[in-house]
Chains A and B, each alone.
Chain A
Amino acid sequence: MGIVMGTFSLQSKPVNYRKDKDDDDLEMTMVCHRPEGLDQLEALTNFSKRELQVLYRGFKNECPSGVVNEETFKQIYSQFFPQGDASTYAHYLFNAFDTTQSGSIKFEDFVTALSTLLRGSITEKLQWTFNLYDINRDGYINKEEMTGIVRAIYDMMGKYTYPALKTDAPKQHVDAFFQKMDKNRDGVVTLDEFILSCQEDENIMRSLQLFENVI
């Protein structure tokens, strides 16, 4: 009889232990972040107060805790590209937005990057793009980094495309890119080469101004 009672009571113990651990984990994730005041942000960026308000409301709605981590970021970005797999490109984007490499994007990072992209000068935009491509932040874009980026972009297209995606399409694209950008044929593209080559290309110039009126 005692044994029976013992077995009954033994079973209930591990459950309590597990529950406490879950509560602890929950508390850890409730990290909140509040951005600096509206005035400081207005001074830092090229947005007006109104625009910052709209941006923050949207941001806070999706991320009530005030920070975006990489998983959430990937999920949000993937929703815009239902046919393909946007996670790799989202990863690169996340690293580009997260200037302090802290693993999460706060509203200030978000809004400064948007300010560069939407309201910045051509040089600033090109710098930002160079930063995006330069995955290891060494100041040079080499073929591997560029292949990674281009492959990530092609992944977003998914499988059903016209004409059908061949496996070496990214590689050809990268070769064409280097043909255009790498002036001194040393196998890497530096920031100056990049900016110079882009300024020579009218398509790129025009397309950089495409999103001026996004907000």
Chain B
Amino acid sequence: MATGVAAWLPFARAAAIGWMPVANCPMPVAPRDNSKRQDELIILNVSGRRFQTWRTTLDRYPDTLLGSSEKDFFYNEETKEYFFDRDPDAFRSILNFYRTGKLHYPRHECISAYDEELIFFGIIPEIIGDCCYEEYKDRKRENIERLQDDQEENKDMKLPNMSFRETVWRAFENPHTSTMALVFYYVTGFFIAVSVITNVVETVPCGSTTNQKDMPCGERYTVAFFCMDTACVMIFTVEYLLRLFAAPSRCRFMRSVMSIIDVMAILPYYIGLVMTNNEDVSGAFVTLRVFRVFRIFKFSRHSQGLRILGYTLKSCASELGFLLFSLTMAIIIFATVMFYAEKGSSSSKFTSIPASFWYTIVTMTTLGYGDMVPKTIAGKIFGSICSLSGVLVIALPVPVIVSNFSRIYHQNQRADKRRAQKKARLARIRIAKSNSANAFIQTKRNGLLNELLELTMGTEEDEQKLTKSTSLLESQHHHLLHCLEKTTAHEFVDELMYERNCLETALQTFSSRSPSISSHDSSVTTCCACRAKKHSSLPNTSLTHPIAAQQGPLQELSAIHIQCGDPPSHTASRSNLNLKSDDSCRINCKSGRITTAIISLPAPPALTDGDGLHGPPQRRPPPTIQTTTSSAGSNIVKVSAL
């Protein structure tokens, strides 16, 4: 049932008069409002603080505690008020939800306390208004992460049944799990350091030997350095291959940044091994050695800070790009100006505009090396303007960039969060909407059986079953939908039934119309087949199948149609009251005293409607039922169970 617009239900029902002249079939009876209560004030005493509101305000949301009969459990007879032993501050926003239709999250509330209140009062958090929803979800996620971190620290126990591969992967990802992993972690870290230091020391001039030249150490102790390099590369290769073997998804691992860095760290060595010592390629070989410096990036596995820095740079790329672009603009402008200003002077270093770039950059960043200086007066003037503007151009965006770092970082995360939340939220709202649609179809089946019970000679238990009926609001809404069905002479069904009906109209030509037990069974089995095909998990239905097959045809009719229903999937919602009365009705069917005619109207034999109301024709009730009710006359329109 639509929440929040319950006040407009009388209007919607009145507007239904517009359908009446168009309708061909008689309308169903309207539900009686047995409790003709005047609108009264209800007092809600929440831990001593008294709130008052109209009863109809609370009735707006019958799916919640305050809107349903559940609040009767909290009724205090002596003081004639409802007492709740809960937090009155949180209750304020809950009561405002009934009043305004919007649920707000007070920012000073603890998120888990608020959640508990919502759960207690039966309100789903998804209704929180847009103004407060983001804050609520953020706080909730923080809380969950905090709890998760606590849990993860306890998670370091070894799970007994992990395969060797999984153990190795876990060891790599989290070195603290075992001593072996820790040893490996430190060994690789050590070797990365050794490798980097080796690369550096290789180029240091190592004191002169008998050949008067100062040789870098690399050329003097070639063998030693080569052995060191080989050892490091061995270790790195082994590590990479082990990681590749242990990775749960090898493709994804190979595409990750760290693995690319690993490959680039060891590849130059192998390429160097393969290549010969030609003079032509040795130049390229030297270039390759530069890539060995990438080994330093392997440290990022060992340092959390490096990883965060890398990520922030990546996310600030657009801002950095803008800074670069504006700097480039300024550089080009000033370089051009300086070039033309210095063109006149002789022996000027400003030989071309690109040559002036160097001067401009050095001046704007206030480095001032002094290798290029302007000599003309115009050049000096423009040079000073260049250095002053350099200060501003660099100094202004840098704090903006720094603050953008944190802003963009958080904003990116929030935007992704919101997108993911929105999808999930919309999906949940769609489910709730389809549930309300299905609730009507469900109630139709039960409601008709309830009315059956009303008309029979009721025993004690029948009366008790009656009291479990749906709320007045819901019954009125369903009556409205029922009238629409009658107007158009079509019924509402849910998606499952619709598709099954389409299937069966195709099969209909082959089946006989005899209401024998075998046909019932066959229809039951097609029922099964359809459902199995659709992979819908309706646990209730699987339970009732064997029961249905064993009962007599009378019960089978109603039982089949109940079990073909689609129970609302949210077990926590109160509309499951429908389901409960469903069970009771089925139990009552066993007594076998039920007649199927509800409204015996001497209608003209426009029995197309009658057929339309039944299920597929092979489920027409067997003649035994008809005889018990046809005493009143021959043209009885069966408005019975579907």
Separation of A181 and B54 alpha carbons in the complex (Å): 46
In the complex, A123 has a CB within 8 A of chain B = no
Q: How many A-B Cβ pairs are below 8 Å?
A: 171
A3 to chain B, nearest CB (A): 8
Separation of A96 and B14 alpha carbons in the complex (Å): 13
Separation of A176 and B498 alpha carbons in the complex (Å): 26
Would B481 and A81 count as touching, CB distance under 8 A?
A: yes
In the complex, A140 has a CB within 8 A of chain B = no
Separation of A173 and B22 alpha carbons in the complex (Å): 8
A152 to chain B, nearest CB (A): 10
Given contact pairs A76-B5, A81-B481, A153 touches B22 in the complex (Cβ within 8 A) = yes
In the complex, A214 has a CB within 8 A of chain B = yes
Separation of A114 and B9 alpha carbons in the complex (Å): 12
In the complex, B392 has a CB within 8 A of chain A = yes
Would A79 and B5 count as touching, CB distance under 8 A?
A: yes
Q: Mark A138-169, 1 if CB is under 8 A from B, else 0.
A: 00000000000110011011111111110001
In the complex, A61 has a CB within 8 A of chain B = yes
> A62 — which chain B residues lie within 8 A by C-beta?
4-5, 7-8
Separation of A213 and B479 alpha carbons in the complex (Å): 13
Tell which of A80, A149, A159, A214 touches B14, judged by Cβ atoms closer than 8 Å: A214
In the complex, A206 has a CB within 8 A of chain B = yes
Would A211 and B385 count as touching, CB distance under 8 A?
A: no
In the complex, B640 has a CB within 8 A of chain A = no
> B633 — which chain A residues lie within 8 A by C-beta?
none
Centre residue among B326, B488, B498 by max chain A CB count within 10 A: B488
In the complex, A198 has a CB within 8 A of chain B = yes
Contact count band on B: 35 or more
> A153 — which chain B residues lie within 8 A by C-beta?
19, 22, 484, 487-488
Given contact pairs A117-B17, A129-B18, A153-B484, A213 touches B33 in the complex (Cβ within 8 A) = yes
Would A162 and B490 count as touching, CB distance under 8 A?
A: yes
Separation of A141 and B493 alpha carbons in the complex (Å): 32
Within 8 A of B (CB), among A90-140: 92-93, 96, 110, 113-114, 117-118, 125-126, 128-129, 132-133
Would B18 and A132 count as touching, CB distance under 8 A?
A: yes
A104 to chain B, nearest CB (A): 16
B551 to chain A, nearest CB (A): 24
Tell which of B10, B23, B39, B491 touches A207, judged by Cβ atoms closer than 8 Å: B23
B253 to chain A, nearest CB (A): 44
In the complex, B38 has a CB within 8 A of chain A = yes
A214 to chain B, nearest CB (A): 5
**B500: nearest chain-A partner, CB-CB:** A162
Given contact pairs A208-B20, A213-B33, A162 touches B612 in the complex (Cβ within 8 A) = yes
> B492 — which chain A residues lie within 8 A by C-beta?
83, 157-158, 160-162
Q: Which 6 A-B pairs have the closest CB atoms?
A: A58-B7, A1-B389, A79-B2, A117-B14, A207-B27, A160-B498
**A residues with CB within 8 A of B:** 1, 3-4, 50, 53-55, 57-59, 61-62, 76-77, 79-83, 92-93, 96, 110, 113-114, 117-118, 125-126, 128-129, 132-133, 149-150, 153-154, 156-165, 169, 173, 176-177, 181, 194, 198, 203-204, 206-208, 210-211, 213-215
**Other contacts beyond A54-B39, A62-B4, A82-B433: 12, CB < 8 A:** A62-B7, A76-B5, A82-B434, A126-B21, A129-B21, A157-B488, A160-B493, A160-B497, A162-B491, A162-B498, A211-B14, A214-B30
